[in-house]
């Protein structure tokens, strides 16, 4: 066998990320809410799972109207999550275990209780008045037709000032004015503070919304269809790209840090737009989320098309990342049907996520197959769910406590959890799944381990062979020293797959085939919902290795 050529390991490119929603991960102090010391207690779980980095949804001081995405103090930790010392301890302990820590930076808005906003709203002449986006108007006439993501107008009238302020999200989240130099400088200081403390990176919340049209023009009307849906004048304004570049410059003055942007596009899955935020690949965002797969039905053809489009959107020096679920949408497994076949589909998706070229992000609980929790009206805490019930029940369903065991409160807390635990925790939980060789957790951890061991997986080329035809995706991952073959059957149909010529293959991991089994064949039989990762042993017999 040829000598293994070691690729340079770049943690945010080649590693696996794990997204923690801190309220729901592990409660260390018995108040029913997850916290930072709780994450500390579960670090070894993350080591066993094999992840390389964690991204924490916001832990800054917050009145929690939007559960942390409404910040009142960017320099301190909310007491519900612990103290700044706890956070520093987390950094230290995570780093000791080779796990990087990425925090969520909420840029577009603050809480309406942030002292900046109090000053801004105190008078027209206050020096911070211009830190937020105010427009003249009267009670009966809104400045324009801009809509809030959370429903209704994006403008809130302030009686005292007789002006409107803009809120792209809830009215308790006034939008900052990023055209104001002092706002930009204030954030540069905040970034510096956390970088100096040793944070490894940032997830930039709603980064494509931070700049709005200078002239406050109406978004094109409904009749213009796609134009309207894109929110032409409130997203992806040229200036946002400049700001991202400025942030990159700051990060580049530190060693080995990164940022990943939430580029939420309308219509969802506008991969080209997400790709634009990488600019030339090494001068803007390190990574940007493309949410296409979250919105696609489980179809090999549709998944393939989305992936292909995403890859085509990545600049030459850029790098893709992939995600199946997060705290804003439903849990991916709950999209995959009702019966037991959804677990089979979820394994196919897991193998795809962890064998694609690009950094995988796993949402807490995805690795054990946690599904949406159905909640009663009285249990809903997300203001969105309260507002739109029963038509839309909000985001709580995908934020319920991590299921550590079959025991009380799923082993998450000794107290009543802030959101109910899913009753299925008696079946779906970390403790039992670690013991079960067929479990989702065992499957995820094996995939993560293999991804680490095989440079073809973490850094190799992606060569598609079957592009969703007949419900099957097949591709190679190739590095200088190995060639892997990935077979994914998105359907319940068994089929025979012709490889063209004969190959010597060894199974590395499979939902159906026996690990380490070797075969020499030109025709592979694939079972219903089979996901198989194989090593192409013939590769070493090719010209280049003679």
Residues marked active site are found at 205, 262
Span 107-146, contacts to ligand NOJ by CB under 6 A: none
Q: End-to-end CA distance of the chain: give it in Å, rounded.
A: 10
Residue 363 interacts with ligand NOJ (CB under 6 A): yes or no: no
Asked if 169 touches ligand NOJ (CB under 6 A), the answer is yes
CB of 209 to ligand NOJ, least distance (A): 9
Query: Could you say whether residue 527 binds ligand NOJ (CB under 6 A)?
Result: no
Asked if 35 is part of the footprint of ligand NOJ (rule: CB under 6 A), the reply reads no
- Report whether 479 contacts 535 (CB < 8 A): no
Residues 248-267 that bind ligand NOJ (CB under 6 A): 262
Whole-angstrom CA distances from 110 to 205, 241, 271 are 11, 21, 28
Q: Residue 64 or residue 88: which is nearer to ligand NOJ going by CB?
A: 64
Candidates 27, 52, 175, 205; binder of ligand NOJ (CB under 6 A) is 205
202 makes contact with ligand NOJ (CB under 6 A): no
Q: Can you tell me the distance from the alpha carbon of 361 to that of 102, in angstroms, rounded to the nearest whole number?
A: 12
Residue 25 per-residue DSSP state: T
User: Is residue 328 involved in binding ligand NOJ (CB under 6 A)?
Assistant: yes
CA distance 404 to 295: 28
Give the separation between CA 154 and CA 64, rounded to whole angstroms: 20
Where in 455-484 is the site for ligand NOJ (CB under 6 A)? none
Q: With respect to ligand NOJ, which residue has the nearer C-beta, 205 or 290?
A: 205
Could you give the CA distance from residue 162 to residue 124 in angstroms, rounded to a whole number? 10
The C-alpha atoms of residue 211 and residue 108 are separated, in whole angstroms, by: 8
Between 191 and 503, name the residue whose CB sits nearer to ligand NOJ: 191
Nearer to ligand NOJ, 384 or 507 (CB): 384
Spatial separation of the C-alpha atoms in residues 244 and 333, rounded to whole Å:
33
Binding mask 207-236 for ligand NOJ (x = CB under 6 A): ------------------------------
Q: In the window 61-80, what residues touch ligand NOJ (CB under 6 A)?
A: 66, 69
Name the residue whose CB lies closest to ligand NOJ: 69
**CA distances, 25 to each of 84, 400, 455 (Å):** 18, 9, 31
Q: How far is the CB of 325 from ligand NOJ (least distance, A)?
A: 12
**DSSP letter assigned to residue 228:** H
Work out whether 431 is an interface residue with ligand NOJ (CB under 6 A). no
Applying CB under 6 A, the site for ligand NOJ has a residue count of 9
Minimum CB separation of residue 205 from ligand NOJ in Å reads 5
Which residue number, 262 or 481, has a Cβ lying nearer to ligand NOJ? Answer: 262
Cβ closer to ligand NOJ: 311 or 389?
Answer: 389
Q: How far is the CB of 165 from ligand NOJ (least distance, A)?
A: 16
Q: Give CA 71 to chain center in angstroms.
A: 20
CB atoms under 10 Å from CB of 506, counted, come to 14
Measured distance CA(173)–CA(77) in Å, rounded: 18
Query: Is there binding between residue 60 and ligand NOJ (CB under 6 A)?
Result: no
| 294 close to 329: Cβ distance less than 8 angstroms | yes
* 33, 71, 91, 106: which one binds ligand NOJ (CB under 6 A): 106
Question: How far is the C-alpha of 275 from the C-alpha of 289, rounded, in Å?
Answer: 9
- Look at residues 400, 309, 328, 326 and name the one whose alpha carbon lies nearest to residue 360: 326
In 182-339, the DSSP E strands lie at 201-205, 258-261, 287-288, 321-323
Q: Verify binding: residue 171, ligand NOJ, rule CB under 6 A.
A: no
Residue selected from 206, 323, 456, 533 as contacting ligand NOJ according to rule CB under 6 A:
206
Enumerate binding residues for ligand NOJ (CB under 6 A).
Answer: 66, 69, 106, 169, 205-206, 262, 327-328
């Amino acid at each position: 066998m040829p000598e293994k050529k070691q690729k340079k390991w770049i943690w945010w490119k080649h590693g696996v990320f794990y997204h923690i929603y801190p309220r729901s991960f592990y409660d260390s102090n018995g108040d029913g809410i997850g916290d930072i010391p709780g994450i500390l207690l579960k670090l070894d779980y993350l080591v066993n799972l094999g992840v390389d980095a964690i991204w924490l949804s916001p832990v800054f001081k917050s009145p929690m109207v939007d559960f942390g995405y409404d910040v009142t103090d960017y320099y301190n930790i909310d007491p519900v999550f612990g103290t700044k010392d706890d956070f520093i301890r987390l950094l230290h302990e995570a780093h000791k275990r080779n796990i990087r820590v990425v925090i969520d930076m909420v840029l577009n808005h603050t809480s309406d209780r942030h002292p900046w906003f109090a000053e801004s709203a105190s008078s027209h002449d206050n020096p911070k008045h211009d830190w937020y986006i105010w427009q003249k108007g009267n009670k009966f006439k809104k400045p324009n037709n801009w809509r809030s993501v959370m429903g209704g107008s994006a403008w809130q009238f302030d009686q005292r000032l007789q002006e409107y302020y803009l809120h792209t999200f809830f009215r308790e989240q006034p939008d900052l004015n990023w055209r104001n130099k002092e706002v930009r400088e204030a954030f540069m200081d905040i970034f510096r503070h956390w970088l100096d403390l040793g944070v490894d990176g940032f997830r930039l919340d709603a980064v494509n919304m931070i700049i709005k049209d200078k002239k406050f023009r109406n978004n094109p009307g409904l009749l213009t269809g796609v134009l309207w849906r894109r929110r032409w004048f409130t997203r992806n304004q040229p200036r946002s790209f400049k700001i991202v570049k400025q942030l990159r410059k700051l990060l580049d003055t530190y060693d080995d840090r990164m940022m990943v942007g939430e580029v939420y596009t309308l219509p969802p899955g506008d991969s080209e737009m997400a790709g634009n935020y990488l600019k030339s690949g090494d001068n803007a965002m390190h990574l940007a989320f493309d949410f296409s797969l979250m919105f696609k039905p489980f179809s090999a053809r549709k998944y393939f098309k989305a992936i292909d489009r995403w890859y085509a959107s990545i600049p030459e020096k850029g790098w893709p990342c992939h995600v199946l679920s997060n705290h804003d949408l439903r849990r991916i497994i709950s999209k995959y049907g009702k019966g037991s076949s959804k677990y089979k589909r979820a394994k196919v998706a897991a193998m795809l996520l962890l064998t694609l070229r690009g950094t995988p992000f796993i949402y807490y609980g995805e690795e054990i197959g946690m599904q949406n929790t159905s909640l009663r009206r009285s249990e809903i805490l997300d203001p969105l769910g309260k507002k739109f019930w029963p038509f839309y029940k909000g985001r709580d369903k995908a934020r319920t406590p991590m299921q550590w065991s079959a025991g009380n409160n799923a082993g998450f807390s000794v107290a009543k959890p802030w959101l109910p635990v899913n009753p299925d925790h008696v079946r779906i939980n970390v403790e039992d799944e670690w013991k079960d060789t067929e479990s989702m957790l065992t499957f995820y951890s094996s995939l993560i381990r293999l991804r680490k061991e095989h440079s073809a997986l973490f850094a190799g080329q992606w060569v598609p062979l079957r592009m969703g035809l007949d419900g099957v995706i097949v591709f190679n991952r190739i590095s200088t020293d190995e060639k892997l073959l990935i077979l994914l059957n998105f359907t319940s149909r068994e089929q025979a797959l012709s490889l063209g010529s004969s190959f010597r293959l060894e199974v590395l991991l499979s939902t159906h085939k026996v690990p380490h089994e070797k075969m020499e064949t030109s025709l592979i039989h694939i079972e219903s919902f089979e996901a198989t990762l194989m090593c192409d042993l013939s590769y070493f017999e090719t010209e280049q290795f003679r």
